[in-house]
Structure 1
Amino acid sequence: MATNKVKQIHSFGQSIWLDFIDREIIASGKLKKLIDEEGIRGVTSNPAIFEKAITSGSDYDKDIVELAKTTSDNEELFFKLAIKDIQNAAALFEGVYNEGVVGADGYVSLEVSPFLALKTEETAAQAEKLWKEVDRKNVMIKIPGTQPGLAAIRQSIGKGININVTLLFGLDRYRAVTDAYISGLEDHLAAGHKIGHISSVASFFLSRIDVLVDPMLDEKGLGDLKGEVAIASAKKAYEIYKEVFTSERWKKLEAQGAKPQRLLWASTSSKNPAFKDTKYVEALIGKDTVDTVPLETIEAFADHGVAADTLEQGLDKATETLDRLKKAGIDIDKITQQLEDEGIDKFNKPFEKLLQAIEDQKNKK
């Protein structure tokens, strides 16, 4: 029997997480099947995913009507719905969480309100509230890696909360995120707590970079770099990861049981139909990383993906790609900031739509 292609990725030290959740995939047994047969090792969710889940069917209608009897706040009602799904998914991943190195995988992620993306204290407060309400070891709370988010990330890690840092596009910001994680661990340790149970990932978004950069490349005579800038950025991020998590500062925490904050590749479906649909997954397979993948991309990879240890191949080319951009006057820092701003908006809009859908459902007679 041929080896499962998605499971093959795991043999290279990378974990595949599903970038999707709804009640149907949990109740139907499909998520359990993905864990058992495809080797899926975690789940991520975001406001857009939940908006689609709640508005595309009737699975949540009864709960909305029931919860509306005890709260008039639609955001609070949404989180009660979401927490139920997250807890049910977390139960399915308990076996993965407890396998081998406990806490290496098996996580389900729940994001704070996107309305708080630029508010430090409110983000930290909601992260702690959600963490306590979900009450599962194998859950991560997602916090955007915005400038105001950095302090919230540090505070949350300092309280012993597992954090998935989302919406990362730029290398300088990624480095700052690793510092927030390490500082949070140092804070938790200094307060007299153990740190071996804390887990975190830093979610680096890929295909959106190419969507924005690629149209600029032809104008600059750099057409050969189409579809390569995001991959080059990810490879450089992995260089930073290896540097940070072998440093003397890190080794002191590692001696106390700390786990490195793994890089997670997000936005890995190909947005350009000219590219192979498994392009981003295939290009960035490597040790101690996570790739969160939509269902259709998992199915595509299972059908025709190629699993190989690719992440550290072509590092010189990655450096050269980013150098050529700079020489051509394309400001990657400006682009990644634009993507962060747009990313916040892309989560705000579906969240507004979701809250309106909850309101509409409450008002049905």
Structure 2
Amino acid sequence: MSIERVRQSGPRLNFSEPPTPTMSRQNTSLYERHHKRRTTHPHLLSSRRKPRRWPLVFRFIKGAIHVEIILPVFLHALFTAFVVYLDTYVFESVGLPASIIPSLSIVVGLILVFRNQTSYNRFWDGRNGMSTLNTCVRNLSRTIVTNSYNTKRGPPTPSEREDIERTIRILVAIPFATKNHLRAEWGAAWAGGGFLGNDVDEHGTAAYNPEYAGLLPAGLEGHEDEGLGLPYQLTFFVDGFIKRGEDRGWFSAPSASQMQAQLNTLLEAYGRMETIKLTPIPVAHLIHQKQVLALFGCVLPFAMVDEMGWWAIPIVSLVIFTLYGIEGIGSQLEDPFGYDRNDINMDALVGDTKTEIDVVLSEWRQHSKIMEGGMNAREGEDAWKTMLGRG
């Protein structure tokens, strides 16, 4: 094999600019710091960041919880103003002993700690489930493209290569299907209209994604309306390919068993994320938590009014802002598969997986052409030698 052919058969590496995400963060203070995005090599979508214009302490809209809690904070401030008015102009005193605050604070603190710890565990488990699913897609794709040939039979035939590509496309489609399944966007692969690279239109409804639809097998009929999840349905195609590969002599029995184990791990990760989606926090806990927060916010003005007077209004508002903010963060993290800025960036993770596997598939196509060309050259050389021998 010539040096040029070796260069063509190997993976193409590009170490030119732009810099890695770490270097980009180090260099942002040198030139055009604000709102200048720098691309990366792997994780192009997941690592897409821009420098912050303001410190986080001054952020009140994007990614913040303030909009969701502004109503209870305002109501508690209004109630505190009413208590201060009664204490100042109506009654001699409506204050309560300040000693009741520590005992109530312990109860509120325990409830909020449990709420946030449980919610973040759901967020973390959901992210780990997505990582496990992507890892299984990587492992299966790598095994398929490196082992789908027989040394005795030679390179795969055109129909076999099409079978390989179709299976890898299905593997890439599984994260897309899982994302839509967790968001209850049924039929997103078959709906008409929509925009490229976005499964939801401006009205918040599932829209057609050509990239996703192009990964699915031709003529595939979904059964989501009958209760069958599309990610589970797609695994049957992959399992069937493993069986065909074993019959063709591509995979030994242990190798096929390991591939099926990877497929089982993929389904297990899908099931864990589905469990997070379908198992909300018990409503009894949510009711009691809201009532305890409201009770604490209503008792707090009576404990502060004698010592602080009208200053009790901003102090109570600050305390309520803190407590309801912590509770609101837990509410957002409870379901981490949505579109909030604090949710898992499912679109970016799925898009990066597709980009990565597309590169692998492109390199495999190039390598397959080289192998096929080498086999044809050897066959022609053998025929030429046979012809000369007969002459």
Q: Which has the higher strand share?
A: 1
Q: Which has the larger radius of gyration?
A: 2
Q: TM-score range by the shorter chain?
A: under 0.3
Q: Which has the higher helix share?
A: 2
- Higher relative CO (CA 8 A, sep ≥ 6), structure 1 or 2? 2
- TM-score, scaled relative to structure 1: 0.26
